[in-house]
A and B are shown apart, each in its own frame.
Chain A
Amino acid sequence: MLAGVVQKGELEWEVPIGFVPGMRVPGKFYLSARLEEILEEGAVRQLANVATLPGILCCSLAMPDIHWGYGFPIGGVAAFDLTEGVISPGGVGFDINCGVRLLATPLGQRDVAGRRDLIDAMYQAVPTGVGAKSSLRMDAKTLDGMMMKGARYAVEAGYGLPGDLVRCEENGFMKAADVKAVSGKARQRGVPQGGTLGSGNHFLEIQVVREIYDPEAAKAFGLAEGQVCCMIHCGSRGLGHQVCTDHIKILEESTRKYHIRLPDRQLACAPIGSPEGTAYFGAMAASANYAWANRQVITHAARNVFKKLFRIPHEEIPLIYDVAHNVAKIEEHTVDKKKRMVCVHRKGATRAFGPGCPDIPADLSSIGQPVIIPGSMGTPSFVLKGTRGAMEKTFGSTCHGAGRVMSRSQAKKKISGKEIAESLARQGIYVRAPNEAAISDEAPDVYKPSSEVVRVVHEAGISRLVARLDPVGVIKG
């Protein structure tokens, strides 16, 4: 382990105050011995940098998929006092509400075995890759609707079922959205990209539930062994990217205005209640809503494909759950044994609320919130449940995925996209992507093993394993 980092438990590590100058609280992260080998010093430094921000509560946290990002580390979680604390786009990222959702179908593996036409049809139905344009007829009013009411707007416009909304974090939209804080530039980027998947690590996958670890939770969520599911991973596209860029510029100035000293300019921030902080929060919420609407529109396209190819009505393809990975939210948590409202930033981390929390669907209240953890291309994804442990230790948060271990350029040099696609095909996984680079960039071994990441959060008790899903087909951006 890096010099200065202290082991606090088998899977818990502390970065003491003083690791970087100006830390107000310690840093804390979860990691196993196997994941320790690939921990980057830059990521730990970023975790420590977050601990210097005004109003941070308890500690600066990172999940076991911690890696080197910008501003916060990826896998970073931090909660801030609403009066003394700050809000920062560096704690959310460019892809606001990048997130993932899981749909369950009544199909079994045998129904989809060898059905390349299913993946081909998905690839046709969902605009994918750099420069892909929306198939929606979007105008300024539609965009406003998406930004104000998120998945609810999409469902009301015919892109989904009312039941989908209760199975989304925040019921599919944040009320704090302020479209006036979203620039004309961001709007221009948002209009042509509604309902597009994007590129990079974004995907739509057909998966099969291969193993159930927690039968009671799986049943309550609506998952059974052998069942075919569809996972969608995407975010707020250029609109969210532009909102982040615009507000970093504004918050750079307010950092000076409010005399905040920062170790990294990407942590540009402002007091949560200041005009600049409020504007960022409103614009971020609008972008988060746009992302929820996007995933809802893609859901509708995916259901249409199942309907066309397998004659399954939309109603028989329920949404299991939808979680955000990159977002800041005002939530109630217990701090120093007192319940209070705080601003939680999650950057590459997932909300994992435990049983009894009012913000989870009523029928799952005794179980905990479903947590969806996507694997990298060709590797398993997992469904977990939120726990009381997460409420006590991590402001109700857990990991978000695998986390890279190899850069894209290294990946491209190591193995070609064609070879990877062939190797996956031999394992029964069919991949469609706009080009070879999109495949080699995201090759399975450029990521930490997702199984090890979820094992750590499971054993640390900040969420618990419910089911494993293996991919059978992937469309990539």
Chain B
Amino acid sequence: MSFSELPHTADVRIRARSETLEGIFSDLTDALMQVMYGKFTAIRSETLVVKEVRVSGDDTASLLFNYLSEVLFLNEVGGIVFVRADVRVTGNKLHARLFGEVFDPARHSGGTEVKGISYSGLEVRNDANGYIAEIVFDV
């Protein structure tokens, strides 16, 4: 499981690669948080806040758009920085458990606010090695 940044002048374009579709969703959750808060070391797991996400979509792209938009919403209104996402995808439905820590300006700095998840350039495909997704975050 991994993600990397691709060239994009105005916004942030990410490519994620994973053996499973679920891995793509959880990698992009990490990517989203890293764009917003920079690289930080997560605190001890027993103090984490847990949030549940249930979304559906017409296809994988809209499932990803709806899921990451929901992560962004929960992050902002709850002031929660997510450090892990356990995702289960069943057909066109998704259920995720998100684990996060309370936003702390001293630790979660160095990033840029993501305004939204873009459909432009959003692509999920699979090959012999698993899944690849490309996505643009508007910053």
Contacts and interface: CB of A to CB of B under 8 A. Distances in A.
Contact of A245 (B11, B69, B103): B69
Given A266-B119, A268-B119, A93 B110 contact: no
A211 interface: no
Contacts of A241: 72, 115-116
B44 interface: no
Interface stretch (B1-9, B19-27, B85-93): B1-9
B10 A74 contact: yes
B36 interface: yes
A70 B139 contact: no
A67 B10 contact: yes
Interface string A174-207: 0000000000010011001000001110000000
A199 B105 CA distance: 14
Interface stretch (B46-54, B73-81, B124-132): B73-81
A69 B10 CA distance: 7
B9 A198 contact: no
A188 B62 CA distance: 23
Contact of A437 (B38, B58, B72): B38
Interface residues of A, number: 49
B112 interface: yes
B112 A437 contact: yes
Given A93-B138, A130-B36, A249-B66, A71 B120 contact: yes
A393 B116 CA distance: 32
Nearest to B7: A407
Contacts, number: 111
A189 B10 contact: no
A68 B9 contact: yes
B9 A435 contact: no
B45 interface: no
Interface string A400-421: 0001111111100000000000
Contacts of A90: 120
Contacts of A242: 73
A244 B37 contact: no
B110 A437 contact: yes
A264 interface: yes
A170 interface: no
Residue with the greatest number of chain B CB neighbours at <10 A, chosen from A130, A264, A268: A130
A236 to B, nearest CB: 10
Contact of A435 (B5, B109, B121, B136): B109
Contact of B73 (A189, A265, A408): A189
A40 interface: yes
Interface in B58-76: 58, 61-62, 65-66, 69, 72-73, 76
Contacts of A244: 116
B108 interface: yes
A470 interface: no
B133 interface: no
Interface string A264-275: 111010000000
A103 B127 CA distance: 56
A120 interface: no
Nearest to A262: B119
B103 A189 contact: no
A70 B111 CA distance: 21
B16 to A, nearest CB: 16
A264 to B, nearest CB: 5
B127 to A, nearest CB: 23
Interface string A239-267: 00110110011001000000000001110
B123 to A, nearest CB: 11
A4 interface: no
Contact of A70 (B7, B76, B77, B138): B138
Contacts of B72: 241, 245
Nearest to B117: A245
Contact of B122 (A69, A95, A265): A265
Closest 9 CB pairs of A and B: A70-B120, A94-B116, A265-B119, A70-B118, A94-B115, A435-B109, A266-B119, A266-B120, A199-B113
18 contacts: A68-B9, A129-B105, A130-B36, A130-B108, A130-B111, A130-B113, A189-B76, A189-B77, A192-B77, A199-B113, A241-B115, A248-B119, A265-B61, A268-B119, A403-B10, A404-B10, A407-B9, A437-B38
